[in-house]
Structure 1
Amino acid sequence: MNLPRRPEDAHATLAAAFNTGNVATVMNMYDADGIIVPEPGKPVSGREKFEGAITAILSIKGKMEIKTVYCLQAGNVAVGRSEWSITDGSDVKVSAKGIELMKQQTDGTWKIVIDHAFGAEGNLVAQ
């Protein structure tokens, strides 16, 4: 699977990667030195934990869809806001509003450095 050439294409490419069901394909979308928040309040980093988080998400059977709310780019970094879900027919397994930080790679493609899958949920409050 080819990495996106524009940051605004990262969400659709990530959904397509998840829908392959292949951990390596999904991991290719990320900078594994980054952070993923697969569950509210539980950020993980480091390749092993990152892969574990991806594997757990892939265990949710269904089709992932990600809609881009916005994508703002400044040079080689971009921030996106997404609305995503995993559905199985009409059954919604999980849905949330996320925030993602993407970075352009030296070859011109984009990878996700921070994926806060629940980062734009209304119930998050300052502590």
Structure 2
Amino acid sequence: MAATEPSQVIEQFTECFNSGDLEGLASLYEDGAAFIPEPGTVSSDAAGLRAALQGFLETKGTVTIVSTSAVVKGDLALTHSHWRLDIPGGEAMEHTSAEVARRQPDGTWKYAIDNPYGGEVLG
């Protein structure tokens, strides 16, 4: 199911992640999308994106979205999510993300930029 609203990209990311669906996750990004797998690193090619997403999936964790926001201007949307990743064994990660989604020619929305760590890139 394609996202017809920017907030649906966040919802679909959560569903795909929690079901371990790498193909579904990768389909949420437009060609050439920028992904920040860790602060200080940017991947903007398909192979790098898939490798980074696979790395997150290998945690076998469960993502929970605590809260989201979206500001839409034309064909662009700035979204933020407060998310938590619970990893088996008791580990957890919690961050506030920042993403830019873009309306595609078919009317669906995909990530153009995905920064799961939000302001932490500022160091």
Asked if 2 retains the 8 angstrom alpha-carbon contact of 1:12 and 1:67, the reply is: no
Give the aligned residue type for 2:112: V
Residue segments in structure 1 that go unaligned for 5+ positions in a row: none
Q: 1:10 to 1:67 in 2, by over 3 A?
A: farther
Spell out, residue by residue over 1:40-72, the C-alpha distance to the aligned partner (whole angstroms, 9 max, x if none): 111111011111111101111121122443200
Equivalence map 1:86-97=2 (5 Å): 86-88=85-87, 91-97=90-96
Spell out, residue by residue over 1:23-46, the C-alpha distance to the aligned partner (whole angstroms, 9 max, x if none): 111101111411100111111110
How big is the shift at 1:118? 0.6
Residue segments in structure 2 that go unaligned for 5+ positions in a row: none
Considering fraction of residues, name the structure with more helix: 2
Aligned to 1:84: 83
TM-score for both structures, normalised by structure 1: 0.86
How big is the shift at 1:9? 2.1
Q: 1:11 to 1:68 in 2, by over 3 A?
A: farther
Q: Distance in 2 between matches of 1:10 and 1:63?
A: 17
Q: Distance in 1 between matches of 2:66 and 2:107?
A: 23
Identical residues among aligned pairs (%): 25
Deviation beyond 6 Å, 4+ runs, structure 1: none
Aligned to 1:120: 119
Q: Distance in 2 between matches of 1:14 and 1:99?
A: 14
Equivalence map 1:35-54=2 (5 Å): 35-54=34-53
Aligned to 2:73: 74
Q: Distance in 2 between matches of 1:102 and 1:68?
A: 17
Q: CA RMSD in A?
A: 1.9
